[in-house]
């Protein structure tokens, strides 16, 4: 199978993850003009499964190192499979909450708050399980990320106050999703052998683990997403018949593309875990927060009506987040 053989290449892949994880939600913004996010989310989940299968059959089966996709799948233990599926179930609920927050508050708010919290928790949890990197630099970087999250929440409060809208709903959804999002990755990482060249018996290679994870996402969609369909946080309820009645090839393709983009980022992130350590690879990947915030601020103009004093907060948010990411990268080099 294919995987990076140096730390710098692993970091490069994590930056691609950052772009993927920070950009997939643009597909939701495009689709939301025509139908609600629970309907979009079905295609998104299907796209994750299809992309994980394609990547497993191609990148996950090439070369002489590691185990080919189907061989790896056949030897995986029930505990490894269960761990990856549980990761998918947790991720799916977390992601639905964050997608709902995007629907209410926009990308520039939902991502920095929700994914920022997920970054902090995820780095801590994965470092305790696999302590690679300088802890002082790593957690100082995390502290700067926390400051960036606070600045973004303050900017959102200014925006909603100027529009006479209560800010609490979007932020609470993002916080709840972020807390859950901080835990899913550890379950996926626990199912993966830390030696990619000669993977341990019973554990899986990254490609197989992501495929099993994706089945957990799609399977749990019948529970989590059904709730959002029939008991929406805002807007009108939708039904399964609406998915077929209102959808067309263009709308479905947008959702599939969103899932493909996210899954590519996930695969590149986990195959970087051997060289970078799962705490660092996850932390760097969740730099997606700034990518999403940039989309929201500069492309979707989500803060165009914000009062004076808001944009300096947003600029400082970007500065603190980038400084935090820089320290996270250095923590493995020093």
For residue 231, being part of any structural domain is answered with yes
For residue 220, being part of any structural domain is answered with yes
pLDDT over 70, % of the chain: 97
Query: Which pLDDT score is estimated for 48?
Result: 98
The domain in which residue 204 lies consists of 7-330
For residue 206, being part of any structural domain is answered with yes
pLDDT band (50, 70, 90) for residue 142: confident
Structure tokens of 241? Answer: 């018949």
DSSP string covering 297-327, please?
A: IIIS-TTTTPPTTHHHHHHHHHHHHHHHHHH
For residue 87, being part of any structural domain is answered with yes
For residue 2, being part of any structural domain is answered with no
**Is residue 192 classed as helix, strand or coil in its secondary structure?**
strand
Cβ distance 99 to 43 under 8 Å? no
More reliable by pLDDT, 287 or 94: 94
Query: Which pLDDT score is estimated for 163?
Result: 67
For residue 1, being part of any structural domain is answered with no
Query: Which pLDDT score is estimated for 120?
Result: 86
Residue with tokens 């950052």: 18
Query: Which pLDDT score is estimated for 274?
Result: 92
Report how far Cα 162 is from the mean position of its chain's Cα atoms. Answer: 30
Nearest to 289 by CA among 104, 98, 154, 30: 98
- Answer whether residue 317 shows pLDDT above 80: yes
Residues 77-98 pLDDT 10s: 999 999 999 999 999 999 999 8
pLDDT band (50, 70, 90) for residue 165: low
More reliable by pLDDT, 185 or 146: 185
Give the list of residues 6+ apart from residue 79 with CB closer than 8 angstroms, or none: 202
Query: Which pLDDT score is estimated for 162?
Result: 67
In angstroms, rounded to a whole number, what is the distance separating the alpha carbons of residues 190 and 80? 7
Cβ distance 178 to 114 under 8 Å? yes
DSSP string covering 104-154, please?
A: HH-HHHHIIIIIHHHHHHHHHHHHHHS--S-HHHHHHHHHHHHHHHHHHHH
Query: Which pLDDT score is estimated for 164?
Result: 61
Average pLDDT value over all residues in the chain: 90
Cβ distance 320 to 307 under 8 Å? no
For residue 242, being part of any structural domain is answered with yes
pTM of the model: 0.88
- Reported as type and span, the H/E element at residue 190 is helix 168-190
- Answer whether residue 49 shows pLDDT above 90: yes
CA separation (Å) from 1 to 50, 61, 70, 193, 281?
18, 5, 12, 13, 19
Give the list of residues 6+ apart from residue 314 with CB closer than 8 angstroms, or none: 108, 151, 152, 155, 293, 297, 303
For residue 113, being part of any structural domain is answered with yes
Structure tokens of 87? Answer: 């990761």
- Mean pLDDT, residues 193-211: 96
Count of structural domains within the chain: 1
**Is residue 157 classed as helix, strand or coil in its secondary structure?**
helix
């Amino acid at each position: 199978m294919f995987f990076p053989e140096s730390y710098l290449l692993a970091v490069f892949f994590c930056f691609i993850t950052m772009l993927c994880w920070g950009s997939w939600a643009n597909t939701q913004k495009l689709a939301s003009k025509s139908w609600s996010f629970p309907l979009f989310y079905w295609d998104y989940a299907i796209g994750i499964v299809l992309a994980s299968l394609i990547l497993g059959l191609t990148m996950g089966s090439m070369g002489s190192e590691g185990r080919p996709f189907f061989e790896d799948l056949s030897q995986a233990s029930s505990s490894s499979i269960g761990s990856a599926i549980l990761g998918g179930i947790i991720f799916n609920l977390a992601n639905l909450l964050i997608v709902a927050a995007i629907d209410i508050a926009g990308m520039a708010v939902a991502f920095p708050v929700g994914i920022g919290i997920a970054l902090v928790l995820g780095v801590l949890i994965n470092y305790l399980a696999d302590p690679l990197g300088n802890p002082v630099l790593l957690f100082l970087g995390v502290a700067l990320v926390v400051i960036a999250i606070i600045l973004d929440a303050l900017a959102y409060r200014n925006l909603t106050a100027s529009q006479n809208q209560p800010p609490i709903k979007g932020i609470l959804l993002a916080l709840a999703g972020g807390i859950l999002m901080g835990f899913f990755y550890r379950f996926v990482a626990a199912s993966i052998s830390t030696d990619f060249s000669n993977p341990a018996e019973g554990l899986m290679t990254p490609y197989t683990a992501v495929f099993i994870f994706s089945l957990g996402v799609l399977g749990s969609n019948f529970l989590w997403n059904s709730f959002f369909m029939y008991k929406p946080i805002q807007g009108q309820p939708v039904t399964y018949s609406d998915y077929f009645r209102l959808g067309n090839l263009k709308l479905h393709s947008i959702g599939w593309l969103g899932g493909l983009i996210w899954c590519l980022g996930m695969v590149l992130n986990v195959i970087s875990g051997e060289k970078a350590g799962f705490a660092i690879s996850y932390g760097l990947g969740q730099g997606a927060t700034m990518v999403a915030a940039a989309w929201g601020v500069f492309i979707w103009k989500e803060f165009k009506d914000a009062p004076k004093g808001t944009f300096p907060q947003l600029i400082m948010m970007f500065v603190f987040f980038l400084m935090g990411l820089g320290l996270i990268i250095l923590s493995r080099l020093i």
